[in-house]
Amino acid sequence: MIVRIAVTGAAGRMGKTLIEAVGLAEGAALSAAIERPESSLVGSDAGELAGVGKLGVIIAGDINAVINDFDVLIDFTAPAATVANAKACAAAGKKMIIGTTGCSEDDLAQIHGAAVTTGICMASNFSTGVNATFKLLNMAAQILGHDYDVEIVETHHRHKVDAPSGTALSMGEAVAAGLGQKLSDVAVYAREGQVGPRTKDEIGFATVRGGDVVGDHTVMFLADGERVEITHKASSRMSFARGAARAAVWLAAQPAGMYDMQDVLGLK
C-alpha cells in the first residue's frame, strides 16, 4: 500500500527537502502540499518548486481544501499553525508527523488532545543518527553517573528562532533520565556575571547562532582528568526529512496515540 503524504510549509527550506524525501521513500507518495494562504506560490506545482520536476501536486493555501487527499500530514512549521493543523487532522481522521519546535505547554496539551483520536508522531529531531545519539547519551549517563559534569553546546543557522534547540533539550532529557533526574530541575540555560561555582547536578546549555549551520550538537561529560564528548553534526536537512518520511509510512499503520521517533525505530 502506498501512503499518501501531504507536506505543509511546502515553499520553505525544510518543506522543499521533505517533498524530495517523500519522493525517495519506499511506500510513500506526495499527494498534497500546503502553504500559507497569502503565499504567492499557492497554485504552483510542488515538485517544480522543490526542484524535483513536475509532480502534478498543486500547492493549496488551506489544509481543508486538501484534507481528503492525504493519509499523513508532515508539519515542520510554527507552533500556532501546527496546533491548528493537528486539530484539522484529528477531526478528519488523518495522521500527522510533527517536527515543529518551540511549542509551549499549552500547544503540547492541544497536540496531545488531538492524539486521542488520531495517530501523531512528534519529535524534536527525526534524524536516525540523532535518535541513536539520544540512546547513547542515556547509556553514557547511567555508566558515568554523577561524578561527571554535563554541558550541552548546540549551533544552528542564523534564521533559527528558538533556543536552545529542541534537539539539545531532548539530549538533556536523555541525560537527565539516565541520571534519575528531571531536566526541569537541573537545567541551566544562561550564565552571566558572578554566578558562583557550578553546582554538582546541573546540566548546562550553550547556544550558538550564525551562518548556514544545519545543526551541530555536542554533549560533554567532564570529570577531573578526562572528558567524554558525544557529537552529532548534520550537514543536510535531508537527514531529518528522510526520517520524517520513514516515520510517516510507519505511522500510517498505527492506532491513535502519541508517538515519537524512538517508537518508529524500536528503541524503547
Cβ proximity of 96 and 124 under 8 Å:
no
Catalytic hit among 94, 156, 217, 232: 156
> Whole-angstrom Cα distance, residue 169 to residue 166?
5
DSSP 3-state assignment of 71?
coil
Paired sense of beta strands 149-156 and 215-223, if any: antiparallel
What is the distance between the alpha carbons of residues 131 and 239, in angstroms, rounded to a whole number?
A: 11
Rounded distance, CA 154 to CA 159, Å?
Answer: 14
Those residues with Cβ within 8 angstroms of residue 95's Cβ, 6 or more apart along the chain or in another chain: 71, 72, 73, 89, 118, 119, 120, 121, 248, 251, 252, 254
Which of the following is catalytic: 87, 112, 135, 160? 160
Is 159 one of the annotated active-site residues of the chain? no
- Look up residue 206 and give its amino acid: A
C-alpha–C-alpha distance, residues 171 and 217, integer Å: 9
160 is a catalytic site residue: yes
- Just list the catalytic residues: 156, 160
